[in-house]
Structure 1
Amino acid sequence: MMEESERLARFEAVLADWAAEWESVTATLEALRAQGKTRTATYQQLTARKLTLKSMLAPFEERGLL
């Protein structure tokens, strides 16, 4: 069975990955917006992913974990 410290480390790694992905998606959206590509499929897909990530991260932010 996995020890608590290892389990916590894995959980924190996943949370950090989600936060990093949110930052990456946000930066890509800003670049697309600067190029005037807000009506592309890629922009719309990334917007949906950003909203999904935000809803996943919100409970952690509310509890001061991010």
Structure 2
Amino acid sequence: MESVDQVDSERLARFEAALGRLAAERESVTATLEALRAQGKTRTATYQQLTARKLTLKAALAPFEEEGLL
């Protein structure tokens, strides 16, 4: 049987991994948007979809940044 500390530790590790994936996705989306912008492709569907995804990620990560967790 797992101890409470071990369960909490594993849960925290999974949370941190998920938060890290969201932050990494935000960086990837930002880099892709910059590349598309450099190519003058700001009116493409891909650019618009990535902009929406970037805003969604920004909103999702904002509380964590406010608490100093990112």
Query: Which interval holds the TM-score relative to the shorter structure?
Result: over 0.9
User: What percentage of aligned pairs have identical amino acids?
Assistant: 82
Q: Is the partner of 1:3 in helix, strand or coil? A: helix
Q: Which amino acid aligns with 1:46?
A: L
1:1-66 matches, cutoff 5 A: 3-66=7-70
Deviant stretches of 4+, over 4 Å: none
Q: Residues 1-46 of structure 1, C-alpha deviation per residue, up to 9 Å, x if partnerless? A: 7700000000000000000000000000000000000000000000
Query: d(CA) in 1 for partners of 2:54 and 2:18?
Result: 16
* Structure number with bigger Rg: 2
Cα shift at 1:58: 0.2
Give unmatched runs, 5+ long, in structure 1: none
With the length of structure 1 as denominator, give the TM-score of the two structures: 0.97
Equivalent AA in structure 2 for residue 29 of structure 1: L
Gaps of 5+ in 2: none
Cα-Cα RMSD: 1.2
